[in-house]
A and B are shown apart, each in its own frame.
Chain A
Amino acid sequence: MVLLAEAPASVAALLPRAVQSVDWLAVAPPTLLALAALAVLVADLFLPVERKQLLGAVTLGGIVLSGLSLLPLHGGHRSTFCLTTGSHTCSYEADRFTLVIQLLVLGGALLTALLSHDAVRDERLPAGEYWFLLLSSAAGAALLPAARDLATLVVALEVASLPAFALVGLRRGDRRSAEAALKFFLSSVTATAVTLLGVSFVYAATGTLHLTDIAHSLGDTDPRLAVLARTGVVLTLVGFAFKTAAVPFHFWVPEAYVGAPLPVAGYLSVVGKAVGFTGIALVTVVAFPSYANVWGPALAVLAAVTMTAGNAAALRQRPDRRHGAVRLLAWSSVGQAGYLLVPLAAAGYAREPGRAVGSTVAYALMYAAVNLGAFAVAALVARTSPAQRLADYRGLFARRPAAALCLAFFLLCLAGLPPGVIGLFAKVTVFSAAVDAGLGWLAVVMAVNVVVSLYYYLQWTALLFRPADEGAAAAPEVPARLGAAIGLAAVAGVVLSGAPQLVLRFASGALL
């Protein structure tokens, strides 16, 4: 597909029917990110060390530009890289679902870039590589929601993940970082291999890679190929489940988050998960609707186990442990991944699967803003207390009232308690998706998990307002970009709490 698209115009004239047309406007968001990544990589070669700061600015500019390129796509439905014969299915669609996820990815990348600025300088990370990898990964993540064939999907998944491995291991001379990266890499590659195997099975059974065509063909496969198709469906989902950090593919999470630079951990928790659940949504709802009886229950069980395991582990974090704060965020993000999967599972039972997927999207938007906000405050606190123990947050309100109030707000959003209204309503949409689909047991499991998670979120929140210990670290100035990141996330959270409709309408409109 790509080769044909880039063929010279003269050839295109000769083969008018074989060449796919390219709508550059539609593919602009991921393309701009990729171009910015290349620009950073090249510029890194020529910039003197003391001016490497510029690379961060280029990255921010690239992300903002890419975000602006979403504007002309608003409201329209564009598709490109379409087959010129047969079914005329397209490999790239810029519909509402795509745009919303791209917005989420770009927003997440923007906040991460704002957070990274000081981390790159303070931790002496190689600037050129860091910004290049971040942009490349974001480009992959932005491509993924638009992909409508399995090959593009897997390629996008890998473009999003491969730079992430390197980002995790970027702290030079840190054994923990290298180990985490290796563990993350090996397990992720295994998962991808399994996915590829699944994809090949599906291809063998249907003879096509385009999602909608697969949906048509799977409906009437040769009965002798039924087992093959079924196995293919399950195996394909494995790789995506890995990215969302669903149990049993979650064990890499705590180490990777602790080993990685903090902004990267935040990035993984938001954009990494977005990649995973988008893939699952596309594959299940678009490609395998006829196998809803297979993946529906499987995802339901996966969701239940994931949230339970994540919350149980988060509950066990002790305040004095080193990196306790990041570990808690890591495990809580596993728990949150479970909630994200609930509507996807419900899509397997519902009459309108698009609606259920919308609940996941709405939840993910809320989660992205507040979770990155929490990571931003964690990055702020880590500047003065590098041990990142939960105990370091004691008395934060006395030292930094604004940051403490923001963190409290983010945690309450994650917990789903007022004044974090948006968190509450995001949970309500997920609950109603489950109840609507008749998954009462899953709703009850989730309810119990929500209460369990309230315990640790609230405990952390309460810690912020305790009197500080003697000799607590002083509060130096907040770096401007870090402050901007916290402020952006907080404003997003507050605005959404006042007008939840801004994100929740995705929960009602049929996506996909």
Chain B
Amino acid sequence: MSTTALQILLAAIVVVPLLGAVAALLPAPPGLKGRSPGQAVLRHGVTVTGAVLALSVALAAGFDHDHPARMQATTDVGWIPALGVRIHLGVDGVSLPLLVLTSLLTFLCALHSYWRTPDGPSPKAFVALLLLLEGGTLASFAVLDLVLFFLAFETVLIPMYFLISRWGGEGRERGAWRFILYTLLGSVVMLLGLLLVGIKGGTFDMVALATDNGSGLSHSTQVIAVLAIGLGLAVKAPVWPLHSWLPDAHTSAPTAGSVLLAGVLLKMGTYGLVRIVLPIAPDGARTFAPYLAALAAVGIVYGSLVCLALARRGAKGDLKRLVAYSSVGHMGFVLLGIATLTPTGVNGALFANVAHGLVTGLLFFLVGGIKDRYGTTDLDRLSGPTGAALYGRAPRLGGLLAFGAVASLGLPGLAGFWGEMLAMFASFRPADGLSRPAYLVFLVLAGLGTLLTAAYLLAVVRRVCMGGNGEQHPAGAVGPALTDVRPYEFAAWTPLVVLTVLAGLWPAALLGLTDPVVQQLLGGGN
């Protein structure tokens, strides 16, 4: 595909959702009114996200897979000369998978919402916010200018805030507030760091700064910049102990909100670390890497311990909260991989990033489906005295949940395995200059985390999918059969299942894309 076509594709991927968001607020044109205004606008959402997905698949097809390290489909035009801000877009092997993941998950969310209208005020605003969120997320993966990255990073906050606070469940106001205040606190500090880099480095262009590889920045500048930028990204990622907004936000968010929050928004934090911190301020990154690794290891163990506590009988654990805390653990692996500063680790981190998006997205969809059927996600109320017996009452749903759980615990052959394996593998031999014994300790902690993860996920499967047989318990304890997976749910979930299996069986497809870029980002070469 020609360069111009790719350029147009990438620009369209960023712009189309934004235009779609505006269009969603306008009255539907004649001929597209549909059965009701709500239905028309939800269909509009499906159309636009579908178009964006098609565009990003086309971009992925046109992408030169032989040279993933080269920035492709680049557009570079001046926007605000006063600040030296340019509209610089481009994709390489690191951002391409995230772009496709984002457009896929948003499309699935729109599809799901079309059939299962979210509870809350008019769907019009819902679709507009969803599209704005998609636009912001895609932009943050596509831009190559520090200030634009910040702009895109901030753009997602307002829509996500309203998605949680208007369409969320119990405790939504609180959850939405915590989400936005934590993220803003971090991102304002991040802005200072980005400005520092931009002013001292003489440009806001990420490619130019990455090529310099920190040579234009003094050690102390790098340390301050990494601290400031890292803080903003750490809140987003989230790094323990800055994670405490995440469970509340996830628990109260609507299904689409949870899926996008876990599947895409958290990735902006880790993507920022790989794209900005590692190549632009390598000295600063080296200074803070052991601390980041330590926090990541603590996060892994902490996340799984909390999940274990939630999965206990009588703990009144919320299934959504449990999946949210499991995200803290999984993102811990991603951060550990990045903190090793080795190509293996960063590749593993990027792989785990995508895998987590697929698997956790699926899990949140499933939990949303369970909530629709039972009206609750409280594990104790769900499972009753013996278990919810999903295998018996809705076998396909139960099977999918079990699939999601084992994918999440990192069963070899599924997506969750490779990323975490590579991250741990890399921390066995971290980059030169990093204390190996410390990383060995983190490795052990991470290993312990995988065991605990397996324990709580199996406990969840045991309590939700299995149940007493009819002989030992009076009839009716298990309850009547439930609606099994509906066609639209099947349509929304199948792509995630298929991709999870594919990524597990053929990891080279993804690693082949990321590896050349990672070598370059860490090495500072071209």
Interface residues of A (CB under 8 A from B): 362, 412, 417-419, 421, 424-425, 428-429, 431-432, 435-436, 443-444, 447-448, 450-451, 454-455, 458, 462, 465, 467, 500-501, 504-509
> B196 — which chain A residues lie within 8 A by C-beta?
435
Q: A435's contact among B80, B132, B154, B195, by CB below 8 Å, is which?
A: B195
Q: Does B184 contact A (CB under 8 A)?
A: yes
> A424 — which chain B residues lie within 8 A by C-beta?
151, 154
Apart from A417-B184, A425-B83, A429-B82, list 19 A-B contacts with CB within 8 A.
A362-B82, A417-B157, A418-B157, A419-B132, A428-B147, A431-B191, A431-B192, A432-B195, A435-B192, A435-B196, A447-B188, A454-B184, A455-B181, A465-B125, A500-B79, A501-B79, A501-B82, A504-B82, A507-B82
Cβ B81 vs Cβ A417 within 8 A: no
Select from chain A the residue with minimum beta-carbon distance to B181: A455
Q: Does B383 contact A (CB under 8 A)?
A: no
> B82 — which chain A residues lie within 8 A by C-beta?
362, 429, 500-501, 504-509
Q: A436's contact among B154, B166, B199, by CB below 8 Å, is which?
A: B199
Question: In the bound complex, how far is the Cα of B132 from the Cα of A417, in angstroms?
Answer: 14
Q: Which of B114-166 contact A (CB under 8 A)?
A: 121, 125, 132, 136, 147, 151, 154-155, 157-158, 161-162, 165-166
Cβ A432 vs Cβ B165 within 8 A: no
Residue pairs across A and B with Cβ atoms less than 8 A apart, 8 shown, are: A417-B158, A419-B158, A425-B80, A425-B85, A432-B198, A500-B82, A501-B79, A504-B82
Cβ B166 vs Cβ A465 within 8 A: yes
Q: A418-B154, A419-B155 are in contact. Are A458 and B161 (CB under 8 A)?
A: yes
Give min CB distance, B507 to chain A, whole Å.
36
Give min CB distance, A180 to chain B, whole Å.
34
Q: Does B315 contact A (CB under 8 A)?
A: no
Cβ A505 vs Cβ B189 within 8 A: no
> B166 — which chain A residues lie within 8 A by C-beta?
465
Select from chain B the residue with minimum beta-carbon distance to A461: B158
Cβ A465 vs Cβ B162 within 8 A: yes
Question: In the bound complex, how far is the Cα of B198 from the Cα of A448, in angstroms?
Answer: 21
Give min CB distance, A48 to chain B, whole Å.
47
Q: B192's contact among A421, A444, A462, by CB below 8 Å, is which?
A: A444
Cβ A432 vs Cβ B83 within 8 A: yes
Question: In the bound complex, how far is the Cα of B198 from the Cα of A512, in angstroms?
Answer: 26
> B184 — which chain A residues lie within 8 A by C-beta?
417, 451, 454
Cβ A500 vs Cβ B80 within 8 A: yes
Give min CB distance, A37 to chain B, whole Å.
36
Question: In the bound complex, how far is the Cα of B181 from the Cα of A447, in angstroms?
Answer: 13
Q: Does B60 contact A (CB under 8 A)?
A: no
Question: In the bound complex, how far is the Cα of B196 from the Cα of A465, in angstroms?
Answer: 37
> A443 — which chain B residues lie within 8 A by C-beta?
192
> A450 — which chain B residues lie within 8 A by C-beta?
188
Cβ B189 vs Cβ A447 within 8 A: yes
Q: Does B508 contact A (CB under 8 A)?
A: no
Cβ A447 vs Cβ B192 within 8 A: yes
Question: In the bound complex, how far is the Cα of B84 from the Cα of A425, in angstroms?
Answer: 12
Dominant secondary structure at the A interface: helix
Question: In the bound complex, how far is the Cα of B121 from the Cα of A467, in angstroms?
Answer: 9
Give min CB distance, B53 to chain A, whole Å.
23
Give min CB distance, A94 to chain B, whole Å.
23
Question: In the bound complex, how far is the Cα of B83 from the Cα of A505, in angstroms?
Answer: 8
Interface residues of B (CB under 8 A from A): 79-83, 85, 121, 125, 132, 136, 147, 151, 154-155, 157-158, 161-162, 165-166, 180-181, 184-185, 188-189, 191-192, 195-196, 198-199
| Interchain pairs with CB closer than 8 A, number | 83
Q: Which of A419, A450, A467 neighbours the largest number of chain B CB atoms within 10 Å of its CB?
A: A419
> A448 — which chain B residues lie within 8 A by C-beta?
188
Cβ B81 vs Cβ A505 within 8 A: yes
Give min CB distance, A257 to chain B, whole Å.
27
> A431 — which chain B residues lie within 8 A by C-beta?
191-192, 195
Select from chain A the residue with minimum beta-carbon distance to B132: A419
Cβ A421 vs Cβ B81 within 8 A: no
Q: A428's contact among B165, B181, B195, by CB below 8 Å, is which?
A: B195
A-B complex: 8 closest residue pairs judged by Cβ atoms: A504-B82, A508-B82, A418-B155, A447-B188, A505-B82, A501-B80, A451-B185, A507-B82
Cβ A504 vs Cβ B121 within 8 A: no
Question: In the bound complex, how far is the Cα of B84 from the Cα of A508, in angstroms?
Answer: 10
Cβ A462 vs Cβ B165 within 8 A: yes
> A435 — which chain B residues lie within 8 A by C-beta?
192, 195-196, 199
Question: In the bound complex, how far is the Cα of B155 from the Cα of A443, in angstroms?
Answer: 22
Question: In the bound complex, how far is the Cα of B154 from the Cα of A191, in angstroms?
Answer: 41
Select from chain A the residue with minimum beta-carbon distance to B156: A418
Q: Which of B79, B82, B158, B199 neighbours the largest number of chain A CB atoms within 10 Å of its CB?
A: B82
Question: In the bound complex, how far is the Cα of B83 from the Cα of A462, in angstroms?
Answer: 31
> B191 — which chain A residues lie within 8 A by C-beta?
428, 431, 447
Cβ A432 vs Cβ B199 within 8 A: yes
Give min CB distance, B161 to chain A, whole Å.
7
> A412 — which chain B residues lie within 8 A by C-beta?
158
Question: In the bound complex, how far is the Cα of B136 from the Cα of A421, in angstroms?
Answer: 13
Q: B136's contact among A418, A429, A465, A501, by CB below 8 Å, is which?
A: A418
Question: In the bound complex, how far is the Cα of B224 from the Cα of A424, in angstroms?
Answer: 22
Q: A443-B192, A462-B165 are in contact. Are A429 and B154 (CB under 8 A)?
A: no
Give min CB distance, A366 to chain B, whole Å.
13
Question: In the bound complex, how far is the Cα of B82 from the Cα of A362, in angstroms?
Answer: 11
> A429 — which chain B residues lie within 8 A by C-beta?
82-83
> B154 — which chain A residues lie within 8 A by C-beta?
417-418, 424
> B121 — which chain A residues lie within 8 A by C-beta?
467
Q: Which of A421, A458, A505 neighbours the largest number of chain B CB atoms within 10 Å of its CB?
A: A458
Give min CB distance, B442 to chain A, whole Å.
31
Give min CB distance, B175 to chain A, whole Å.
13
> B181 — which chain A residues lie within 8 A by C-beta?
451, 454-455
Q: B188's contact among A362, A418, A451, by CB below 8 Å, is which?
A: A451
> A428 — which chain B residues lie within 8 A by C-beta?
83, 147, 191, 195
Select from chain B the residue with minimum beta-carbon distance to A398: B121
Question: In the bound complex, how far is the Cα of B82 from the Cα of A42, in angstroms?
Answer: 47
Question: In the bound complex, how far is the Cα of B344 from the Cα of A450, in angstroms?
Answer: 39
> A417 — which chain B residues lie within 8 A by C-beta?
154, 157-158, 184
Give min CB distance, B296 to chain A, whole Å.
26
> A505 — which chain B residues lie within 8 A by C-beta?
81-82
> A501 — which chain B residues lie within 8 A by C-beta?
79-82
Give min CB distance, A506 to chain B, whole Å.
8
Question: In the bound complex, how far is the Cα of B288 from the Cα of A16, in angstroms?
Answer: 74
Question: In the bound complex, how far is the Cα of B80 from the Cα of A506, in angstroms?
Answer: 11
Q: Which of B83, B132, B165 neighbours the largest number of chain A CB atoms within 10 Å of its CB?
A: B83
Question: In the bound complex, how far is the Cα of B85 from the Cα of A508, in angstroms?
Answer: 12
> B136 — which chain A residues lie within 8 A by C-beta?
418
Select from chain B the residue with minimum beta-carbon distance to A448: B188
Cβ A458 vs Cβ B180 within 8 A: yes
Q: Which of A428, A436, A500, A504 neighbours the largest number of chain B CB atoms within 10 Å of its CB?
A: A428
Select from chain A the residue with minimum beta-carbon distance to B152: A418
Question: In the bound complex, how far is the Cα of B190 from the Cα of A447, in angstroms?
Answer: 10
> B185 — which chain A residues lie within 8 A by C-beta?
451
Question: In the bound complex, how far is the Cα of B306 from the Cα of A412, in angstroms?
Answer: 37
> A465 — which chain B residues lie within 8 A by C-beta?
125, 162, 166
Give min CB distance, A270 to chain B, whole Å.
22
Give min CB distance, A253 to chain B, whole Å.
25
Select from chain B the residue with minimum beta-carbon distance to A450: B188
Question: In the bound complex, how far is the Cα of B181 from the Cα of A448, in angstroms?
Answer: 12
Q: A418's contact among B83, B85, B151, B195, by CB below 8 Å, is which?
A: B151
Q: A455-B181, A465-B162 are in contact. Are A504 and B83 (CB under 8 A)?
A: yes
> B192 — which chain A residues lie within 8 A by C-beta?
431, 435, 443-444, 447
> A500 — which chain B residues lie within 8 A by C-beta?
79-80, 82
